[in-house]
Structure 1
């Protein structure tokens, strides 16, 4: 059983009680410890969503309660990018830093979750993913992250402070797929076993110019490895979806934080406040038009996942950027960091497909495996096979 540290130079931890919440002895997760992203309601533990602004009370998380009943022990709450509206780890409490490179960001919004796992402080972490918030920090911290199918009954978002009810997912991070699979298996009582890659049809989504050379090379090597296992790999195309994603998420986030936004200065960081005010300004017609675009993108993804069994894609456009870095240099030139990251990850949260983020051979550069809706067990089984074979 791993335990949280007595010090916290990365500012990963939002709350650490004197005594952990000990899981039920003898359960299938007995002996495992986990951290809880500070969006989940846990009785007796504070919830601030890493902001100085007031936030709504989401009630108790049944997912946390279920993990405790299955034997896992909760050791505390982790920091996140403020209210989960960002991908670096910046928040109202100083921000979380990378577990190995103090000058760099860990990714977000589940920044503390990834750091707590990467440093071995817990066996797994509960995060959330609205546009990449599990997968991005997993990739940049060198760990595994899993975003289940949207609405998966085992991974409830009840009792979790929302960012966007349309795109929010609950899911785990861990140092290996085996731990993720163990947790998923306990929650679902389903069999998650290694899957043979022989004959698997893989669509390689590696948009030209959207990554730097390091990421491009890492994904290419990963694709070749899948071919050596018997998979067939073919390039595919898919458009940028931020014209649908951003209006939906910003509008819904502004709705969640309506009470705080009645104040002139509610306590959010300037970027967060600006984004929420932008969300308030989105009209009902613009919001509905974004859902029309979402439906069109969903049809495209359904077509791809009919022609292919899984998609392989980069999880991040570059290795972890420096703290305060707002732009990144990639193949097509200098691009705002938020856009460069989200256009790779947002499609699969916007459209709810199960996605597994895995480390690659390049340090702190991850890839994504995207499965068909509802085929979470098979996706995890494919990930398990990769881990067993290494």
Structure 2
């Protein structure tokens, strides 16, 4: 097998070998191709994490090795938001652009992953999600993204350069839920059955003022689709969790990149460097307090998911913003882009709940379905039944 010829105008690819790593000929994923976010360690392939700074070697990815044994073929590595610390796709190699909207961001940090899937260059892509890094680019690029339950045995993060071990997840992006389900079934050896939604209880998390009018209507339209299948939908509250999320992620990221930060010129972009320095400056008492808040938020989410089968929420606050745009206009006014995005997605990576991002009726605006911890297959079954419904 040779790597197919195509242009890379979006700067999605970090490394494309002359020949792919060909998967087993008779595995359940035989014939499928995938791209690999450049955080996964692969012998013989470089790992730069889309930064000019030096990064630690995580060793070989257990997940990539398993996918190859199951028959999928790895076509190359994709760019990401620098060291995965961001949600736009900006990095030390000129950044990645939206697959079909020139001048707009694809989302991050799994930016190249989403682009390669959206353009049909691979069947699925491996990404990581620490605060929304699979779901945000999936939503903004119009594809499907799945963040499994934290520490799901099928989705190992061993051999993946971490950002925050507390919040990191590995997962796939694909053009349809059926492909995600095929990969899930191959990895678990189980069966995902479509669940049409009749009789399920859905908690609608759509905080007032947090999204623009397009996203609000797209999310409500999705909710009406669930109701038409026999689901009951009820609005639910949930707090902003960034007061727990940010100290945990920044302090852990600073430890991961401590060696580079000790260099006179580490090589990170200014925003990344400032964020890592902020993490270095956090005291242990501040980090401990953040973990205490996380425990309280986890209890709130668990209680909510005893009353509801799934939660429905927007995956992004607006359609894809312009490259370099720092603020977005939403219901409550101008809000910093990073905060506007992360407060929608970070709860479910901070708290480890399985989440699927699905396209909606509005182009490049996605929604999230959040399931109970460990009920990944049931969540994917619902997503499978809803394919194309929004």
Q: Provide the TM-score with structure 1 as the length reference.
A: 0.99
SS for the counterpart of 2:387 is helix
Question: How far does residue 263 in structure 1 lie from its aligned partner after superposition?
Answer: 1.3
Equivalent residue, structure 2, for 1:79: 79
CA separation of 1:235/1:389 partners in 2, compared to 1, >3 Å: closer, same or farther?
closer
Match of 2:117 in 1: 117
For residues 1-390 of structure 1, the aligned pairs below 5 Å read: 4-387=4-387
C-alpha separation in 2, matches of 1:5 and 1:115? 16
CA separation of 1:116 and 1:299: change in aligned 2, threshold 3 A: same
Runs of 4+ deviating beyond 6 Å = none
Residue pair 1:40, 1:159 contacting (<8 A) in 2 also = yes
**CA shift at 1:102, angstroms?**
1.1
In 1, Cα distance between equivalents of 2:151 and 2:284: 25
CA distance in 2, matches of 1:14, 1:3: 14
Question: Measured at CA, do residues 192 and 277 of structure 1 come closer, stay the same or move farther in structure 2, by a change above 3 Å?
Answer: same
Please say if residues 3 and 16 of structure 2, whose CA atoms lie closer than 8 Å, have aligned partners that are also in contact.
no
Match of 1:180, SS state, is helix
Q: Quote the Cα distance in structure 1 between the aligned partners of 2:387 and 2:108.
A: 25
Tell me the distance in 2 between the aligned counterparts of 1:345 and 1:265: 33
Q: 1:81 deviation in Å? A: 0.1
SS in 1 for 2:30: coil
Deviation at 1:387, TM superposition (A): 1.5
- 1:11–1:79 contact (8 Å) kept in structure 2: yes
Q: Is the 8 A contact 2:2 2:20 kept in 1?
A: no
The answer to whether the Cα contact below 8 Å between 1:110 and 1:133 also exists between their aligned partners in 2 is yes
* Distance of 1:84 and 1:21 partners within structure 2: 24
Alignment RMSD (CA, Å): 1.1
Aligned partners of 1:196 and 1:6: how far apart in 2? Answer: 39
**SS of aligned partner of 1:76:** strand
The answer (yes or no) to whether the contact 2:3–2:19 under 8 Å persists in 1 is no
Distance in 2, matches of 1:234 and 1:206, equals: 11
Q: CA deviation at 1:193?
A: 1.3
CA distance in 2, matches of 1:40, 1:187: 17
Task: Determine helix, strand or coil for the equivalent of 1:296.
Answer: helix
CA drift at 1:6: 3.2
User: TM-score when scaled to structure 2?
Assistant: 0.99
User: Equivalent residue of 1:224, what SS?
Assistant: helix
Q: C-alpha displacement at 1:303, in angstroms?
A: 0.7
8 Å CA contact 1:3, 1:33 repeated in 2? no
What is the CA distance between 1:5 and its match in structure 2? 4.0
SS at match of 1:128: strand
Deviation at 1:15?
0.1
C-alpha separation in 2, matches of 1:266 and 1:52: 8
Contact persistence 2:196–2:386 (CA under 8 A):
no
Local SS of the residue matching 2:91: coil
Preserved contact between residue 2 and residue 122 of structure 1 (Cα < 8 Å): no
> What's the CA shift string for 1:339-372, capped at 9, x where partnerless?
0000000000000000000000000000000000
Cα displacement (A) at 1:64: 0.1
Unaligned runs of 5+ in 2: none
* Count of aligned positions: 390
Distance 1:19 1:205, change over 3 A: same
